Structure 1
Amino acid sequence: MLTKYNPGVIICLRKLTICLGLVFLAFSGFGQEFLFKRNRQKQSITFKCIKNLMVIPVYVDGKGPYDFVLDTGVGPMIITDPSIIDSLNFSKLRKIKVSGLGIETVEAYVSQSLDVKVGSTGIKNIPTAILKEDLFNLSGHLGLKIYGLLGFSFFNSFIVDIRYNENRLIIYDHDAKIKYRGKKIPIEIENQKPYILATVDVPGGKTIEARFLMDTGASHALSLEMLHGTEFPLPEKKIKANLGMSLSGQIKGYVGRVDKFNVGGHVFKNVVAGFPDFKSIADKIDLSKRNGNVGADLLRKFNIQFNYQEGFIYVKPNGLSKTPFEHDMVGMVLYLDQKEYKRVLIGEIDENSPAEKAGLCPDDEIIAVNFKNIDAYSLNELTEMLKSKADRNVIFEIFRDNQVYFKVVRLEKRI
């Protein structure tokens, strides 16, 4: 789902899904790989985990480090801030049309001339899509300057061992001796993205097998989009939600829970899932190859070893595996102003949510929370606070129309 920031058009944080799996780019020469320097065969890299997304340092054409999201849901590398590339002449780059959920067309530019380094590894002439402007406003939503997304080229070059409970990953050359841990599960790599089979309970007591995109670049746990050619059955208890915003309007749907989700014999109960409106997405994206996607709120409950080239993963539950799935208990989106990153603003507010009941409004600026200046919190800390405990009161000091107001929001477990 391609999204563009403006005061009224933002993507909901609970579904920070950059569905660039929907983007089909006509690149040639995908044989390039990241290579270790000299005879090195492994390296450990620390990542920042922000709203469940992995952010790693990347060097582009010898400059950096720049923070990129490590995202199995994208094929070619995507640069969202072209200012990091010197002397970029868009008139000499091949122009392509990017299509995605809820949009008509967006222009991007193709480059195969960039050199990229991650840790002690590098790749020359990496296939890259360059956006002339930041359509995602990832920086605003994550509270950290983000310059792009890195996907297939990285994961296909190594055996990638993601240790979510340690906030680090270990990359191995394919010739290295690897000690695999946990349960082996086959995956399919299609259009440079990994797919996995899992079973999920549906209303009526049935359990069905479904195919899911594994998407480390999606902050939610689960998205259920299609079953047997039509909409996925909705749970009895659900709430209306804006699952995101696109250039042509809101992506509406519901949020509910599924009783059980089983992947590789590991069963998760009461999983929070999004159910996008089928009619609004079916004619925009190809749902024939998947039933939905599994996002990082579920994936992070494992330590995962990806082997794209041989078509499998190993998963081992970590210390996060028993943490229950919780949905946002306030019903609003927070983001940083794109020009002044110190300003925390309110975006979309769900209908009949605690935020709406408390009188908060889109475009309100939050200047303090629980009588502490907003600078005392990271955006990640605020997000965790707002899904931490039902019946907890949170006091917001907001700035609106040149006046200061205090609003008390009572957190509510809505599903």
Structure 2
Amino acid sequence: MRNAIWLVLAALLAGCGNNTPARVSAPPDPAKGEIHFEWAGPSETVMLVPVHINGQGPFKFVLDTGATLTCVNEELRNRLSLPSLPGRIGMGAGVGMVGQISLIKIESLRVGKASAEDMAACALDLSHVQRLGVKVDGLLGLNFLRPFRVGIDFQREVLSLSRSESTE
């Protein structure tokens, strides 16, 4: 249970420096930026969205509006050979634990038609989540979501990502 709380409290993840993507793009019309999500986990409490990283995927990421950074499972980081960000340090905190996290560079991350280029992320061991019966490749955090207008339609199980004024 303690490890599960680490995932929920990934909200406290933060790195030094600017972790916003260098470039973002999305359709201006929310309907054209719709992506279906799926429910997972005990009592279907986790929203999973399909994510493409550096042209590969889709991978299943938890939509985590409480996570400061987008995070990639260590196994996926190794499979995609995602490089570390030299000189950048991150801190992770959860219930009863605090520690440094590995910051990595993602060349491109795409969710539906919304994309970000040249962004920082963190690498975490998410194997504890796998033991709960949820196949998770990462967490989609605020540093990806923030530049977009985000909508969630729970009845249709649709996430929409469209341009906000700052990306127009």
SS at match of 1:34: strand
Indicate whether 1:98 and 2:92 are aligned. Answer: yes
User: Post-superposition shift, 1:54?
Assistant: 1.1
Structure 2 CA distance for aligned equivalents of residues 99 and 16 of structure 1: 8
Equivalent residue for 1:115? Answer: 108
Q: What residue in structure 2 maps to residue 41 of structure 1?
A: 29
In 2: Cα distance, 1:69 partner to 1:41 partner: 24
CA distance in structure 2 between the partners assigned to 1:19 and 1:79 by the alignment = 15
Structure 2 counterpart of 1:74: 67
Root mean square deviation, CA, Å: 3.0
Aligned residue type for 1:56:
V
Number of residue pairs aligned between Structure 1 and Structure 2: 160
Shift of 1:81: 3.2
Give the Cα–Cα distance (whole angstroms) in 2 for the partners of residues 148 and 21 of structure 1. Answer: 13
Aligned match of 2:8 = 18
Query: Which of these residues, 138, 149, 153, is aligned with residue 129 of structure 2?
Result: 138
Query: Secondary structure in 2 aligned to 1:27?
Result: coil
Deviation at 1:47, TM superposition (A): 0.3
Q: Which amino acid aligns with 1:102?
A: G
Q: Aligned equivalents of 2:25 and 2:131: distance in 1?
A: 33
CA spacing shift, 1:97–1:87, aligned 2, 3 Å:
same
Change beyond 3 A, Cα 1:97–1:17: closer
Gapped regions of structure 2 (runs ≥ 5): none
TM-score (norm 1): 0.34
Kept in 2: contact 1:2–1:19 (CA 8 A): no
Give the 3 Å change call, closer, same or farther, for CA 93–140 of structure 1 in structure 2.
farther
More helix by proportion, 1 or 2?
Answer: 2
Long gaps (5+) in structure 1? 4-10, 176-308, 310-415
* TM-score using structure 2 length: 0.77
3-state secondary structure, aligned to 1:83: helix
Aligned to 1:157: 147
Structure 1 residues 89 and 174, CA, compared in 2 at 3 Å: closer, same or farther? Answer: closer
Q: Find the residue that maps to 1:21 and give its secondary structure.
A: helix
Indicate conservation of the 8 Å contact 1:93/1:111, yes or no. Answer: no
Which residue in 1 is equivalent to 2:20?
Answer: 30
Structure 1 CA distance, aligned partners of 2:17 and 2:154? Answer: 32
Aligned-pair CA distance for 1:80: 1.8
Percent sequence identity is: 22
